[in-house]
Structure 1
Amino acid sequence: MATMMMNDMAARGLRVGLLTWDPEDATAHYPMDPAITWMKLAMGEASQRAGWGLRLRRQRAIRRLARGFRPDVVIGFQAGAFIALRTALVGLGIPMIAAERNAPDLYDFLRQGVRARRMTELALATASRITVQLPSYRPRYPAFLRRRIVDIPNPVPALAEPPYPNEAADPPRLILNMGRLSYQKNQAFLLRAFARVAPTHPEWTLAFVGDGDAGATLKALCHELDLDDRVLFPGATRDVGAWYARSAFLAFPSLWEGFPNALVEAFAHGLPAVGLRTTSGVNELIVEGETGLLSAPDEGAFAEALARMIRDDEARREMGRKAARSILAYDPKAIFDRWEALFRAVAKRRSAP
């Protein structure tokens, strides 16, 4: 989403800079407009916890780069990045936007969630504006932050001709899980739920498309459940569209999300989804019986939802069509118009006398 937004803002004539922890030889995962100035810190490993000495050097480097680039507004995606930028830029008078990328549910799953939430809220109080991805998230922030909050969902490009794989002459028998292999995505729960329905639906296969630190654990669990010949682990891919096109529906039991790209991408490809009714964002995008099915956070209940989706070809087909129509509300141009308006409003406050 960030790359899409940068490309769009650059195409509109705005001066855009990208600051990352990457080494100097890093290349972009997605095509990036050459007009974008990419500033790479190249200090330490982003995947490793930095010591205080490295953190201080990074802060000085960020401050130096910001002074050279002279932005009118800075946006930090996720709380950690915002806090790093905020502390580095203290005193420079540059207005900042904190872009929250998860629902507040996140803190319910952190070991020190209450403390982390309070610290984050205090940091957010220094932002000129805070963006959240759905209007329902705003009331779940403290009252002193709400006046700063603007809700802007992710853009979802609609396909000119969604493939509607469930309407093929030979409909697929593949259940798709797309995303990082991690605790957040709750794939062990999905594996155990699939194990309950696999014996009675031998023609169906489950695919985990993605990689992550839970990969080895999930493969071991797959073997333990005797599902080695029923579950695919193809790893990460840039051609996600090919997997959506060959799948029947998305199984998406994430514990927390913000505005899940994998879910709305599946919708754009004409796939309905099964998710948890307790997961914010997921339980708004999936409309029960319309764009998919919502389950209680229980393996048996989720297995039954999988079975319902497997058994009813006609319902699955109709939900896929409604899912594809639902993402028209997130037209990229309209979403990026809102971002540009926000950037200009925040920058204007800086230049006002």
Structure 2
Amino acid sequence: MHTLVLLYMGDETVTASAGTERVLTNMANAFVERGYRTIVVTNDPPTAKPYFPFLPQVELIFLDVWHVKMPVVVKIKREINRVIPIMDRPVESYRAHLSVVKLRERLSDCQIDCIIAYNHEAIQVADLWQKGRVPLIAMMHNSIRVIMGDSNHATLKEKEKANLIQVLMPSYVQEAKQYIHNTPIIYIPNTVTPIPAERRANLGKKKENYTITTVGRIDGLQKQTHILIHSFAKIVTRYPRWKIEIWGEIKKKSYYNELCNYIHEHGLDQNVFFCGTTREIQKKISQADIFAFPSAFEGFPLALTEAMATGLPSVGFRSADAVKDLIIDGRNGILCEDGAPAFAKGLERLMKDQDLRVKLGRQAVEDIKPYAPQIVWDKWQDVVEQQIQSFSHKKGK
């Protein structure tokens, strides 16, 4: 039995309900089901309760270094690095050293066969911990320009210590090669579970009221929740039977309050609703008629792909990383130019044409099938086994 370690470090936490946490849980469970000993290591405190359920066979190690107090010298290095970026993220580096000390204590007698790093601090931990003795696969969970665009030379060199880098969209391979020159880069997408026909959206049904839904944290920078609300405000008087349901965590209270004020000032209190989070999001999506996704960028948007698997036509931006690859304009959804006016036109195009919604939604189901879990986990298992065998041959020599 091979032992696989998934390192999920940095500021992330398994208690969150976001996409990366979901990928982590799904991957750990999938490898356990395929016969691997799977160990998940995070920065969380010992009392952490994962939002998404791990199988009992998954071994969880919470190192409790997330909120560790930074020494003055580390803070000074951080401030220097902001002005003269020559170091590799001093705060993460410090936490990585603490993590390695604890890992060596917890797994001193464990033979590790492969490590998968979920973020940059995880790469630092793996490098310090195993020093190249074990194959390291680094995952890139966002668009390449977001992950690598602001990275300095030291940070990029640290990423190159991985034996293999995985990206989420085919277009990201060449993009990543602009930053990473000495490490192979492969494309493996996230998984999208097929939705049975009886659980998909019934877009042909005549209704008293219709729903536009979106899923994602309430955020002004990436998710751009305000654009959806502003767009809807431009057309709502022509479509009084339509409403918006916004599902997601509130990350910034001031931004949320701004949105609430805008909704009230524009008389949208009976049309726009913040619904919070739910563990039955697919059920909620299936009751909608349009999926709105005004993100500025994504890595591989699970919310969008789940909506497509449920049979909803989507509206997104032509400029948004990943979104522009998944939504094919006029085939399974609508792509718009940037801004609320264009997004409003995209919404209206679907709101006024039920037949178009049905047609695009039906095609969305077909277009998402290549991301089925069996297909994706087969690819991952092949990659992991290739890396293990490659290192075994090197040791034999």
Asked whether the two chains share a fold, i.e. TM above 0.5, the reply is yes
Contact 2:163 2:183 in 1 (8 A): no
Distance 1:147 1:116 in 2: 16
Contact 1:274 1:294 in 2 (8 A): yes
Q: Does 1:88 align with 2:113?
A: no
Identity across aligned pairs (percent)? 27
Shift of 1:260: 0.6
Q: Which amino acid aligns with 2:251?
A: D
- After superposition, the Cα gap between the structure-2 partners of 1:201 and 1:141, relative to the gap in structure 1 and judged at 3 Å, is same
Choose the corresponding residue for 1:153, options 189, 197, 209: 189
Which residue number corresponds to residue 98 of structure 1? Answer: 138
Which structure 1 segments of 5+ residues have no match? 108-112
Contact 1:72 1:347 in 2 (8 A): yes
Choose the corresponding residue for 1:141, options 169, 176, 190: 176
Shift of 1:197: 1.5
Deviations 1:157-209 (A, max 9, x none): 10122422312242751111101122211112222122111222222111110
Q: Does 1:186 align with 2:224?
A: yes
Contact 2:160 2:182 in 1 (8 A): no
Choose the corresponding residue for 1:329, options 366, 370, 374: 370
User: What SS does structure 2 have at the residue aligned with 1:180?
Assistant: coil
Which residue number corresponds to residue 283 of structure 2? Answer: 242
Q: Which amino acid aligns with 1:230?
A: N
- After superposition, the Cα gap between the structure-2 partners of 1:115 and 1:216, relative to the gap in structure 1 and judged at 3 Å, is closer
Deviations 1:117-156 (A, max 9, x none): 6554322211010000111111112355375111001111
After the TM superposition, which residues 37-52 of structure 1 pair with which residues of structure 2 at under 5 Å, given as runs?
A: 37-45=59-67, 52=74
Which residue number corresponds to residue 332 of structure 2? Answer: 291
Which residue number corresponds to residue 159 of structure 2? Answer: 124
Contact 2:308 2:361 in 1 (8 A): yes
Q: Which amino acid aligns with 1:97?
A: I
Q: Does 1:349 align with 2:385?
A: no
User: What SS does structure 2 have at the residue aligned with 1:167?
Assistant: coil
Q: Does 1:223 align with 2:258?
A: no
Distance 2:176 2:132 in 1: 27
Q: Does 1:280 align with 2:280?
A: no
Distance 2:155 2:356 in 1: 43
Which residue number corresponds to residue 299 of structure 2? Answer: 258
Contact 2:96 2:122 in 1 (8 A): no
Which structure 2 segments of 5+ residues have no match? 1-22, 75-93
User: What SS does structure 1 have at the residue aligned with 2:213?
Assistant: strand
Which residue number corresponds to residue 110 of structure 1? Answer: none
Distance 1:334 1:50 in 2: 43
Contact 1:97 1:128 in 2 (8 A): yes
Contact 1:171 1:248 in 2 (8 A): no
Structure with bigger RCO (C-alpha 8 Å, 6+ apart): 1
Distance 2:367 2:182 in 1: 28
Deviations 1:91-118 (A, max 9, x none): 36122111001111325xxxxx754265
How many residues are matched? 345
Choose the corresponding residue for 2:201, options 152, 164, 174: 164
